[in-house]
Homo-oligomer: A and B are copies of this chain.
């Protein structure tokens, strides 16, 4: 049932403990669902309630603590002994009176770890301000430490098995991009294209299905291409529209994102002018990647490439990717941007998305890649260009399904 060999989980745990030791953390409370999965295998849409994995530096197994009805899921999806799965009663869920962290603090006290150096994931979505306040109140003898990103940094370099899963995600991303962009024609609703993309992402390939990505397909069209992060509407595509498609294939929670810009009919003069500049910059960055380089140096290659054409835009060009859950497929560790000193190593994996947004249009052409021994290789093999669609609907190409 487990997607990785037990030894791989134990290696991850060992590396996590090494980092805990460096930071003086004896007990790490892991609340990020991706980190929980990474260390234990736990996989369920239960992260909307408080739950965690407790990593104790001198104990061989993590402890899962979560909602009563999710304990069966922990038994089914993790390598933990059943006695290390501790459920809290349902009356703790979203209550004004009871808080799951009170229960968890009691457990930590009971098992003798309430007075130790406890690391918490300070800036994670799933560790709220109140969670922290309740823990501090109930564990007055603990010393709290910032344990944010401790596990995320272990995730930075992928194993061969993780790369294999990302390659599968890449196949799904290619298929979804192909079928999705084919459906972008005059008169087709944005929502129908989004539906088509979602269908392809989840149905995957003949050999394997896909998993839900941590971000929905993004599909700004027309003037909204100047607005990243808006989702689809019921507007129909018009001749002359540009459409940005940003999606990810996902397999066993491993993501490979891919973005392309599409036009319905002939592209605008602006897009015709900017596209070769973006592709050239993207190629130059990919050509430059090699172990030993820093993420900041990658940004410099891009910046200089743009400067040749008189363009100055400062933004993050990309980020580390892999295992994740909503709301973000980025790992929150290495960023491809000015000043990032992360040194590239083989099997680090990134989404390179040097998007440009202007006042009334934008362009995204991206690649996800893995650092190799001598350079890099992209996960997907998809034409690195503006996709120009004939505006007219051709039978069976409107994305609709009977």
Contact = CB atoms under 8 A, between A and B. Distances in A.
A192 B203 CA distance: 5
A156 to B, nearest CB: 14
A227 B122 contact: no
Nearest to A216: B212
B128 A133 contact: no
Interface in A187-229: 189-192, 194-196, 198-204, 208-212, 215-216, 218, 224, 226-229
A189 B93 CA distance: 33
Interface string A36-53: 000000011111100000
B46 A229 contact: yes
Contacts of A234: 208-209
Contacts of A131: 123, 129
A112 interface: no
Interface stretch (A259-267, A281-289, A314-322, A381-389): A314-322
Interface stretch (A67-75, A80-88, A270-278): A67-75
Copies in the complex: 2
A290 interface: no
Nearest to A228: B69
A230 B73 contact: yes
A226 B70 CA distance: 10
A241 B198 CA distance: 26
Contact of A211 (B130, B227, B231, B327): B231
A218 B120 contact: no
Query: Which of A94, A95, A198 has the most chain B CB atoms closer than 10 A to its own CB?
Result: A94
Contacts of A94: 319, 330, 332, 335
Interface residues of A, number: 85
Contacts of A124: 128
Contacts of A191: 202-204, 208-210
Nearest to A47: B327
Nearest to A45: B229
Contact of A127 (B120, B129, B194): B129
Nearest to A127: B129
A90 B316 contact: yes
A255 to B, nearest CB: 13
B199 A401 contact: yes
Interface in A96-143: 96, 99, 120, 122-133
A211 B326 CA distance: 16
B330 A327 contact: no
Interface in A311-353: 314-316, 319, 326-328, 330, 332, 335, 337-338
Interface string A138-165: 0000000010110000000000000000
Contacts of A189: 209
B130 A148 contact: yes
B44 A231 contact: yes
Kindly list the 9 A-B residue pairs having the minimum CB-CB distance in the complex, ordered from nearest: A191-B209, A129-B132, A195-B202, A195-B203, A48-B328, A122-B130, A123-B130, A199-B199, A48-B327
20 contacts: A44-B227, A45-B230, A45-B231, A46-B229, A70-B227, A72-B357, A73-B227, A91-B338, A93-B335, A123-B131, A128-B128, A191-B210, A192-B203, A195-B200, A195-B201, A195-B202, A199-B401, A203-B401, A208-B234, A327-B327
Given A122-B133, A191-B202, A209-B233, 15 more contacts: A48-B125, A70-B227, A73-B229, A73-B230, A90-B315, A91-B338, A93-B316, A127-B129, A191-B209, A194-B209, A195-B198, A195-B199, A195-B202, A198-B202, A203-B401
Interface of A: 43-48, 68-70, 72-73, 76-77, 90-91, 93-96, 99, 120, 122-133, 146, 148-149, 189-192, 194-196, 198-204, 208-212, 215-216, 218, 224, 226-234, 314-316, 319, 326-328, 330, 332, 335, 337-338, 357, 396, 400-402
